[in-house]
Structure 1
Amino acid sequence: MVASQIRPADVTDRRLQDAMLAIPRERFLPRSMAGSAYADMEIDLGEGRRFMRPRDFAKLVQALGVKPGELVLDLACARGYSTAILSRLCETVIGIEANESFASKAEGALSDIGADNAVIVTADIKKGAPEQGPFDVILVNGAVELVPDAWLSQLAENGRLGVIVKENGVGRARVYTRRNGVVGSRVVFDSMTSLLPGFEREPEFLL
């Protein structure tokens, strides 16, 4: 996966490459899906949730520039793979997952690999974890049509938030950065990542 998908996608961060080589991705999937763990595609976990395509996940994490000593919030962490990768890059990572079954599986898998700097919290993804922040990095595992203000408000100074934003059906990976109290954003690559359930724009009615 790293040799055929990650490196050719200009993911040059050696710490990230090493993390993706070290973490057994199949450990964070149902056994029936283990054969697809390293495929170049999204993996359907059920209930509208998916593992991001490895390439897109790696490019987004690289764009965030996660550093040792940083506090990271991992939103919609599902079964914990993203949390495991981030745990190799930062001081502490908090995974937020609304699905109790997924959260339980994530806790077990992270314990099995010894990720003792990672914590899983079952909570509303849209709200983030305001009581635990502010965060140096926030990663969103999936696409949204609208970025909640709650997420942006939880960024520390110089904090970065990475998320795929769908605009008119086109997905673009954006990194939002807080500097001097002001949040700006930039597009880093295009992505076909699927929408997270519940993160669609409300329909607008025209009179």
Structure 2
Amino acid sequence: MDLYAARQNMVESQVRVNDVTDMPLQLAMRHIQRERLCAPSQAFGAYGEVESPIAPGRVLMKPRDISKLLQIAEPKTGERALAIAAPYAAAVLSHAGLKVTAQESDPRVLSVTEPYLKELGVRIETSDLKAPVGADYDMIIIEGAVAEVPAAWLDALKVGGRLAVVVRDGAVGHARLYIRLQSGVSERDVFDSTPSTLPGFERAPSFQF
């Protein structure tokens, strides 16, 4: 299989046609070897219109969804970014010239993604995903859906910082952009998306009589 050709076709058929016009992002996605961030046995499907398995319970978001999510965050060269459970996003942002920290909690995921991310100069941190490492980030990206956004994620942004995540509590989720203000946070839904929910970020069942 010609993975280079598959990578270019992914950008042409799944990214550009879905209104992702950010050229540095397109360039990074043409370069980053997505197959090195999913389970080796699943490399053949890394560029398809599917979620690519990394380890049990964890996947890479579809190229269409992650490219649109990255674009709404408006990444800029030199900014500090935190990629929470987001190895592919971390790789793309690093290639686009950001200073990226990838936060992960699952050692099975790290066994797959860490070698390539280190090659790309991404800093790796292992800790609870609901408690961000560091603070004053220009942007935070999450590669998976959550039922609720932890307040700690918003607190880790600098003023003017952006958080891009899919909030999903049902059949359809919504990609949402949060912006940290001097006082409070603004938020808006940007597009519909249905990625898998990150383990541990499902809605807690409510008590019923």
What TM-score do you get using the length of structure 2 for normalisation? 0.91
Any residues of structure 2 matched to 1:168-187 within 5 Å, and which?
168-187=170-189
Q: Residue in 2 aligned with 1:122?
A: 126
Q: Residue in 2 aligned with 1:22?
A: 31
Instruction: Give the secondary-structure state (helix, strand or coil) at the position aligned to 2:130.
Output: helix
Output the CA distance in 1 between the equivalents of 2:108 and 2:207.
Answer: 37
Output the CA distance in 2 between the equivalents of 1:178 and 1:3.
Answer: 33
Is 1:194 paired with 2:196?
yes
Q: Residue in 2 aligned with 1:9?
A: 18
Q: Residue in 2 aligned with 1:45?
A: 54
Q: Residue in 2 aligned with 1:142?
A: 144
1:18 Cα offset (Å): 0.1
Output the CA distance in 2 between the equivalents of 1:107 and 1:45.
Answer: 12
Q: Residue in 1 aligned with 2:81?
A: 72
Query: Quick one: structure 1 residues 82 and 16, their matched pair in 2 at CA, closer, same or farther if it must change by over 3 Å?
Result: same
Consecutive unaligned residues of structure 2, counting only runs of 5 or more, are: 1-9
Residue of structure 2 aligned with 1:96, choices 103, 107, 110: 103
Consecutive unaligned residues of structure 1, counting only runs of 5 or more, are: none
Cα deviations by residue, 1:163-197 (Å, 9 ceiling, x for unpaired): 00013432000000012231011111000111111
What TM-score do you get using the length of structure 1 for normalisation? 0.92
Q: Residue in 2 aligned with 1:83?
A: 90
Conserved? CA contact 2:165–2:177, under 8 Å: yes
Output the CA distance in 2 between the equivalents of 1:42 and 1:105.
Answer: 16
Letter in 1 for 2:130: K
Conserved? CA contact 2:39–2:112, under 8 Å: no
Conserved? CA contact 2:162–2:178, under 8 Å: yes
Output the CA distance in 1 between the equivalents of 2:13 and 2:172.
Answer: 25
Letter in 2 for 1:82: A
Output the CA distance in 2 between the equivalents of 1:148 and 1:64.
Answer: 18
Output the CA distance in 2 between the equivalents of 1:104 and 1:86.
Answer: 21
Runs of 4+ more than 6 Å apart = none
Identity, % of aligned positions? 43
Query: Quick one: structure 1 residues 103 and 181, their matched pair in 2 at CA, closer, same or farther if it must change by over 3 Å?
Result: farther
CA RMSD of aligned residues (A): 1.4
Cα deviations by residue, 1:20-43 (Å, 9 ceiling, x for unpaired): 001111122232111101001112
1:100 Cα offset (Å): 1.5
Aligned length: 200
1:200 Cα offset (Å): 1.2
